[in-house]
Amino acid sequence: MRNKIIIIIVLLSTVFSLESFGQQDAQYTQYMYNTISVNPAYAGSRGVLSMAGLHRSQWVGLEGAPRTQTLSLHSPIGKKGKVGLGFSLINDQLGPTDETYFNIDFSYTVNTSEKGKLSFGLKAGGHLLDVCYSCLNEYSPGDVLLQTNIDNKFSPNIGVGIYYRNSESWYVGLSAPNLLETKHFDESSLSVAKERINLYLMGGVVFDMSDSVKFKPAILFKAVSGAPLQADLSANFLINDKLTLGAAYRWSAAFSGLVGLQLSDSFMIGFAYDRETTELGNTQFNDGSYEVFLRFELFSNRDKIISPRFF
């Protein structure tokens, strides 16, 4: 039990400090299928009504470890499809904290060439924070900082993004999904948690290796004040427009394996497993991290769909 308490304290140190901190948003291995959660300009870019859900269990076996669920839907609006609308919901649990983000996404797309499209996006919504101090085993009984739980503390949120894609060949995006540096506690308190602006830079390219195999290397950079730059590198192969196999590396953090199956034109399922390369990955409490992804798309004109979109 003592070890578990120490582990929880370590986890909480990534969330709270005595003054301020650089908090990072929830991370995903299958970020290439979850783009709208971090970049509002992606809304409507798939050209159909797209609904997706993702569950991530991080550091399985570690008490109080992060668990994340996301749900999103987005679609182009109007005959020209220049306007995109979407909705995203994210729930992130870490130790005694439970955070819920809900956002409306808006995008507007302009044609830059015959194949090129540049989209501008806005994100607006809110954030709810719960902290169950009473769920902790107190090291110092009667600690005044742990006497009052936080229930549904609301904070507003706005974000921006740009996203460029060249047909189905390559893409690049830059976004800041949360521009408001909200403090969750009173500045007079000894414990202050502050949301920091997270910047995302992503890109990928698709190569036709043969008539039946496509190869897509992709990269995601995430930067936030007070934390190291995070880089996620991935390489996926799409075989016969049905099976996706790939691997990923989170710089100085983890190796990952990915697999996806396009069950039909409308339905896709994906799975990912991470293994830490840090000292945390060598502990008996950590069995790795798991992700499950589901996507359903509703086509209004099936004749337009030649093969499943890789991004």
Q: CATH number of the domain at 121, please.
A: 2.40.160.40
Look up residue 294 and give its two tokens: 């589901």
- pLDDT on residue 149: 77
pLDDT in 10s for each residue of the chain, 311 residues: 444 444 444 444 443 333 334 346 778 899 888 899 899 999 999 989 999 999 999 888 888 889 999 999 999 998 888 999 999 999 999 888 899 999 999 999 999 998 999 999 999 999 899 888 777 766 566 665 666 778 888 989 999 999 999 987 999 999 999 898 766 554 444 455 566 789 999 999 999 999 999 999 999 999 988 788 899 999 999 999 999 999 999 988 899 999 999 999 899 999 999 998 877 766 667 788 999 999 999 876 554 555 567 78
In 197-303 the beta strands, taken as DSSP E runs, fall at 198-205, 207-208, 213-224, 230-239, 243-250, 254-262, 267-276, 289-298
Domain-located, residue 18:
no
Domain-located, residue 20:
no
Domain-located, residue 286:
yes
Domain-located, residue 85:
yes
Domain-located, residue 279:
yes
64/68 Cα distance (integer angstroms): 12
Residue 148: CB atoms within 10 A of its CB come to 10
Domain-located, residue 197:
yes
59/11 Cα distance (integer angstroms): 11
Domain-located, residue 154:
yes
Residue partners of 79: CB distance under 8 A and separation at least 6: none
Domain with 165 in it? 41-298
> Closest Cα partner for 37 from 16, 56, 22?
56
For the chain, what is the domain count?
Answer: 1
pTM listed for this prediction: 0.83
DSSP one-letter string for 115-171: SEEEEEEEEEEEEEEEE-GGGS--SSTT-GGGSS-EEEEEEEEEEEEEEEEETTTEE
Q: Rounded to 5 degrees, what angle do the CA atoms 242, 245, 249 make?
A: 150
Domain-located, residue 258:
yes
